[in-house]
Structure 1
């Protein structure tokens, strides 16, 4: 009888312990689910320390230096050479002295224009950033800032594309084709596979 009484009191204890363990496990599982569902950090994290939030340090330097920044791709990849690479390839392109002189002058003019526009664009982005940082911007002033930035971006890209147009006028069609080959845009005639030799006629067809 005593043995049976012990079992009667032990069974509720066992059930209570099992239930407590299950609840604890469920709580841990739920906590893990909540922590894993938290959103990932923004890809912008760290960029809040930039001097100009919309521009990286490299982009700022490229604008101030008048670099291409892929703004002339529409021209470059459609058969309109640029002056900088034309000068780099002057020897294989067999540029004449006059062509080289025109190309050097064009590049100098373009670089001066691109640097000036790049400097204005960096300043416009700096002013927009400062207005947001100081909480002194509204819809009207925002429109003015973005309109100015858009105009400068358009002018800068037009400068790069226009330079490619002008450069192409200095070159012959053969030089333009050779430029594309040297830049890797088209297959070189030297690298094209040679035609297979014609099969020798069979003895029955030989005379």
Structure 2
């Protein structure tokens, strides 16, 4: 036991090998070091990036997948048109916010790069970025609420089934999305 503790202490205390590169080593060439090109593209395109999983995985459909599954869900032409409009509105709002996140990240990166960052500036900048990220998430989540209101209970159940979630129905006894009650 004592030998094991000593070996563990030596392992923890020994410095990392100088030959082991940092997992961040390749990121120093990025124009905005905190964002990959893919992250920037997702932000500029208004993609969901998993931000609405709380809704999606709890029985609140999203418009992109509803459009994909429109036939199987038996959407009416009016429902499809409303869903397409909802999707366009969500993407426009998310794109605008995403562009602002990128600009704020670029400004933050610049303050570190040119060594002009101050604690107060850092706090203000990260707060703005966090607020924008929260707004993007809220846009995506609100869109799931609006989408559910366009559909009926059978379509919501079909969506869940087609997406492979819990046999097609939410696992709760409360109101279903769209105001319908699940029993």
With the length of structure 1 as denominator, give the TM-score of the two structures: 0.72
Q: How far, CA to CA, are the matches of 1:66 and 1:37 in structure 2?
A: 41
User: 2:150 is matched with which residue?
Assistant: 170
User: 1:30 is matched with which residue?
Assistant: none
Q: How far, CA to CA, are the matches of 1:37 and 1:144 in structure 2?
A: 37
Q: Secondary structure at the match of 1:70?
A: coil
Q: Secondary structure at the match of 2:166?
A: coil
Write the mapping of 1:45-84 to structure 2, written as runs, cut at 5 A.
45-84=25-64
Q: How far, CA to CA, are the matches of 1:139 and 1:105 in structure 2?
A: 43
* Mapped pair 1:187 → 2:167: yes
Q: How far, CA to CA, are the matches of 1:36 and 1:98 in structure 2?
A: 62
Write the mapping of 1:94-109 to structure 2, written as runs, cut at 5 A.
94-109=74-89
1:43 corresponds to which of 23, 30, 34: 23
Per the TM alignment, residue 101 of structure 1 is displaced from its structure 2 partner at its CA by 1.4
Write the mapping of 1:20-169 to structure 2, written as runs, cut at 5 A.
37-38=17-18, 40-169=20-149
Q: How far, CA to CA, are the matches of 2:111 and 2:163 in structure 1?
A: 44
Q: How far, CA to CA, are the matches of 2:77 and 2:163 in structure 1?
A: 22
Q: How far, CA to CA, are the matches of 2:15 and 2:137 in structure 1?
A: 46
Q: How far, CA to CA, are the matches of 2:91 and 2:17 in structure 1?
A: 51
Q: How far, CA to CA, are the matches of 1:57 and 1:183 in structure 2?
A: 29
Which runs of 5 or more residues in structure 1 are unaligned?
A: 1-33, 189-207
Instruction: Kindly provide the CA deviation profile for residues 112-155 of structure 1, in whole angstroms up to 9, marking residues without a partner as x.
Output: 00100000001000000011000001101101110110110000
Q: How far, CA to CA, are the matches of 1:153 and 1:39 in structure 2?
A: 37
Q: How far, CA to CA, are the matches of 1:36 and 1:72 in structure 2?
A: 39
Per the TM alignment, residue 98 of structure 1 is displaced from its structure 2 partner at its CA by 1.3
Q: How far, CA to CA, are the matches of 1:36 and 1:85 in structure 2?
A: 46
Q: When the two structures are aligned, how many residues end up with a matched partner?
A: 156
Which runs of 5 or more residues in structure 2 are unaligned?
A: 1-13, 169-183
